[in-house]
Chains A and B, each alone.
Chain A
Amino acid sequence: MAETLFHKVWNAHAVRTLPSGQTQLFVGLHLIHEVTSPQAFDMLRQHGWKVACPNRTFATVDHIVPTNRQGRPFLDLMAEEMTGVLERNCREFGISLWTPDNENQGIVHVIGPELGLTQPGLTIACGDSHTSTHGALGAIALGIGTSQVRDVLASQSLALEPLKVRRIDVNGQLGPGVYAKDVILTIIRRLGVHGGGGFAYEYGGTALDKMTIDERMTICNMSIEGGARVGYVNPDETTFAFLRGRRFAPSGDAFDRAVAWWRTIASDRNASYDDRVTLDAASIEPTVTWGINPGQSVGISEPINADPTDEAFAFMGFTPGALVKGTRIDVAFIGSCTNGRLSDLEEAARLVKGHHVAPHVKALVVPGSRHVRRAAEAKGLHQVFIDAGFEWRGAGCSMCLGMNTDRLEGRQICASSSNRNFKGRQGSPTGRTLLMSPAMVAAAAVAGEVIDVRTFDTRGQVAGMGPARSKQ
């Protein structure tokens, strides 16, 4: 019988049906970090439980680490304490941990794929909603809460209900200046921030087929912003090529055997889906959010058309019918588990090379991992960013969320390559976030305002806007 990847992987990991009707599901890979694990370890100790599979559990620090100065002890005492607690917990329970003292440290959703821990056909759990990122390699990866982190630590399994599967095809060719970020923002806008409730999103179509793993990760990452706890792409040659040679990926003959298995877990051609949606890639514009949830977005040339009584208007300071284009920004942030990988930095660097950040803008580039940082430096990207007036930081979640020292102040407006524009998300209760692709952030940083990246001329002009901006 023809099946989806979701059902094949689910069935292969199902231990039993619990009396409630939930499934006990084996978890193939458990990733943990400093924010959602300390209470789980406490609960384990309280009950005298052990970690069932320490060798299938990997830890890093990302949310809370400072990215400006990463030497220990951190100057931020709470960051130091939380890192110390994770270090003690990992030591006590025999779990591998990567802190900034180690070359593998980074945002949990960047390092999993980068190290080859994330593989097709796995079930992956992590106490973080953006765990859906790992689906880009054909895994079923889901975000969980701390009590479930405890469950996975103790039993390497979870009590869950199966999801329905919605197939989302994106067909055709993306236009210039249009990126994976624009695709997922468009999907969320179209299907709604709760539209994915009860669903896993399977992304495919000719546009997805052509995408790199980095691009697929951007898309899967934000599945949860559309309400879908799981998002994935079927493994293909791009996936296999990405994994070959990575540290935790199989090697030699084992790699070939793995590829043979990975092929079998992809959705069958005639699999049936609970729902299907199709998008035309060519119709997607560079997209920006204007509101306070990731579904509130517009194409860059499109006026905001929403219920005028929506509280987002008052919070953001936009009026119905306005364009986001032309909005003056205070901060530009390039980074996060959505867009903090090498290819994101390369594209941003290509645009800003030879330019300078507008004088009134604070601009940060925060690599998603120490590997990304090193690879970027090997290509000289750090110098491009520094010359352009960006701060070049260490790896971490940074300004995606207000848990570390990188925060918006007051009502600042931030052009951000991250994933959430919720009220207060970037650390200031009144701070305002405009989500967009890293290329759009780079262009906004230089222009000092939101512009259409398609009109950004890399030779030193912003087309149609006169010579290099000086509008302070």
Chain B
Amino acid sequence: MMATQATAAGPILTISGRGLPLRGNDIDTDRIMPARFLRVVSFDGLEQHLFEDDRATDPRHPFSNPRYAGATVLVVNANFGSGSSREHAPQGLLRSGIRAIIGESFAEIFQGNSAILGIPCFAAGHDEIGRLQMLVEQTPDVIIEADVRSGVVTAGSVRITASVPPALREAFLSGQWNPTAMLLDRYDEVRRVADRLPYIAGF
């Protein structure tokens, strides 16, 4: 059960591994994890359904391509993860072995859902991402190394500077990317804020 992941927070400093290039802008979470696979009460096994419909219509889909088997770094384009807030999408990616995503930009809810699972999303420019995708397509064995603190991503001869939003970066570096314990830590302060709000007592 991946729920154990919920407590296994430790610092995430660098991610390194083989890449998986997935081209296209605005790839929404309905495509990453079609809605019918949300008819479940656990996240177990979701990795089997990643991009299921896209893969059915495109036999050369990168998630079906054995050249990228075992990849841990997904390389995407703009506005990845738009649409539905379903955590099932990053849960599927996590369970398939993805540990970092590098792209031009990310939908906000998706980026937050990924962060809380310990998957940093690195943002870089269009041309830089294009170079990285091409490199991985040409040499799938190349190791991508992504450094959370500096945002520097290196792979073979490619070196790009990407960024993780500052608060998420600090959360990864300090190991506090999964915040529940921290939120519970000073619950008395939560109560104090609630007590000041007029609607809590019914005005």
Contact = CB atoms under 8 A, between A and B. Distances in A.
Interface string A53-64: 100000000011
Contacts of A420: 28, 30, 83-84
B86 A145 contact: yes
Contacts of B90: 145
Contacts of A144: 85, 109, 112
B137 interface: no
B5 to A, nearest CB: 9
Interface residues of A, number: 80
Given A145-B109, A197-B107, A12 B36 contact: no
B80 to A, nearest CB: 10
Contacts of B34: 402, 424, 429
Contact of A145 (B85, B105, B203): B85
Given A36-B87, A127-B85, A424-B31, A15 B193 contact: yes
B107 to A, nearest CB: 7
Interface stretch (A42-50, A354-362, A456-464): A42-50
A261 B198 contact: yes
B109 A20 contact: no
Interface in B152-203: 165-168, 170-171, 174, 176, 178-180, 182-184, 186-187, 189-190, 193-194, 196-200, 202-203
Contacts of B53: 423-424, 429
Contacts of B82: 193-194, 227, 293
Contact of A194 (B26, B42, B196): B26
B113 A145 contact: yes
Contacts of B165: 161
A43 B26 CA distance: 31
B6 interface: yes
Contacts of B107: 194, 197, 227
Contacts of B30: 401, 420, 422-425
Contacts of A38: 41-42
B57 A197 contact: no
Contacts of A15: 186, 189-190, 193
Interface string A3-25: 00000000011111011111010
A182 to B, nearest CB: 21
The residue in B165, B167, B200 that gathers the most chain A C-beta atoms within 10 A of its C-beta is B167
A121 B199 CA distance: 9
A193 B79 contact: yes
B14 to A, nearest CB: 18
15 contacts: A12-B193, A20-B171, A20-B174, A24-B183, A38-B41, A52-B187, A145-B116, A146-B88, A193-B79, A197-B79, A258-B199, A403-B35, A403-B38, A403-B39, A422-B31
Given A229-B108, A422-B30, 7 more contacts: A13-B193, A15-B193, A144-B112, A145-B112, A150-B6, A403-B39, A425-B30
Interface of B: 1, 3-4, 6-7, 24, 26, 28, 30-31, 34-36, 38-39, 41-43, 53-54, 56-57, 78-79, 82-88, 90-91, 105, 107-109, 112-113, 116-117, 165-168, 170-171, 174, 176, 178-180, 182-184, 186-187, 189-190, 193-194, 196-200, 202-203
